[in-house]
Amino acid sequence: DSGVTQTPKHLITATGQRVTLRCSPRSGDLSVYWYQQSLDQGLQFLIQYYNGEERAKGNILERFSAQQFPDLHSELNLSSLELGDSALYFCASSQGVSSDTDTQYFGPGTRLTVL
Amino acid sequence: QKEVEQDPGPLSVPEGAIVSLNCTYSNSAFQYFMWYRQYSRKGPELLMYTYSSGNKEDGRFTAQVDKSSKYISLFIRDSQPSDSATYLCAMSDTTGANSKLTFGKGITLSVRP
């Protein structure tokens, strides 16, 4: 168990809908990262927050947004969902701000299915 | 061409075999190299981390980096059924403030008892 929690575990929704994925980092970790994993694209970095501020951005669509709250938990909002958004969404956390030298601990993921 | 290419697999070996997993990359700015292991229905976990060219050993695992060839490898000695998982290489550069991990697509390894 990495200490990172994600809810829900599974989410099934329809095209055009909006969903929110939630992540609680390990105790003491200030950075939260969001990743999308699909069979064709692999694991792709979406966005990083450090202590409430956006730190780095990857291949995140404009329909997706995230935020980190004062208690350091984070939410990833996905809107106007398309079939292609079906994937596993992982949250990871680390102590510091550097995505390369700080070990990232991954949560168990949320499996999103868009019908 | 993707920044990081990884042999697609899957790979099936008998217990006790030596396994070699490889990734190539195109971005010369990559400085940090990692291997993650992902069991079925779990999140990835960091297995090995290297910064410079050369070898790094940890138990049955050896990570090798050849920056001149833009090639990294993970060797698993005396492979065990518990090593059955998907292995992802990852790398990062330190240029600019937008440091991020770039992953290979992963290779699924199955070790037969």
The partner residue sitting opposite B43, judged by closest CB among A98, A99, A108, is A108
Provide the mean pLDDT of chain A.
94
**Residue A19 φ/ψ region, left for φ over 0, alpha for ψ in the -120 to 50 degree band, beta for the rest:** beta
Average pLDDT for residues A37-42, to the nearest whole number? 90
> What is the 8-class DSSP label of residue A104?
P
Q: Which residues of B touch A41 (CB under 8 A)?
A: 105
CA–CA gap between residue B69 and residue A57 (Å, rounded): 29
What per-residue confidence (pLDDT) applies to A102? 83
| pLDDT attached to residue B26 | 93
Query: What's the whole-number mean pLDDT along residues B21-31?
Result: 92
Q: Are A46 and A35 in contact (CB under 8 A)?
A: yes
Interval B72-81: pLDDT, tens? 999 999 999 9
Is A101 in Cβ contact with B101 (below 8 Å)?
no
Rounded to the nearest integer, the mean pLDDT of chain B is 91
First to last CA, chain A: 31
Query: Residue B43 and residue A44: Cβ atoms within 8 Å?
Result: no
- Chain A positions in Cβ-Cβ contact with residue B102 (cut-off 8 Å): 45
Give dist(CA B50, CA B30) in Å, integer: 11
Decide if pLDDT at A39 tops 90: no
Contact B43 A42 (CB under 8 A): no
The torsion angle over the Cα atoms of residues A56, A58, A63 and A69, rounded to 10 degrees, is: -30
Gap from B38 CA to chain A (nearest CA, Å): 10
The closest alpha carbon to B34, from B73, B78, B76, belongs to B73
Instruction: Please state whether beta strands A42-50 and A31-38 pair in parallel, antiparallel, or not at all (unpaired).
Output: antiparallel
pLDDT of B96 > 80? The answer is no
B101 and chain A in contact, CB less than 8 A: yes
Q: Please determine, for residue A44, whether its predicted confidence score (pLDDT) is greater than 80.
A: yes
Q: Is B43 on the interface with A (CB under 8 A)?
A: yes
Query: Mutating which of A5, A7, A43 best tests the B interface, going by the most B Cβ atoms within 10 A?
Result: A43
Q: Where does the pLDDT of residue A100 fall: very low under 50, low under 70, confident under 90, or very high at 90 and above?
A: confident
| Bond prior to B81 in cis (omega within 30° of 0) | no
CB of A20 within 8 A of CB of A82? no
Residues B101, A35: Cα–Cα separation, whole Å: 10
Residue carrying the six token digits 């404009």: A62
Distance CA(B53)–CA(A98), nearest Å, equals 21
Q: pLDDT digit string (tens) for A56-79?
A: 999 899 999 999 999 999 999 999
% of chain B residues with pLDDT over 70: 94
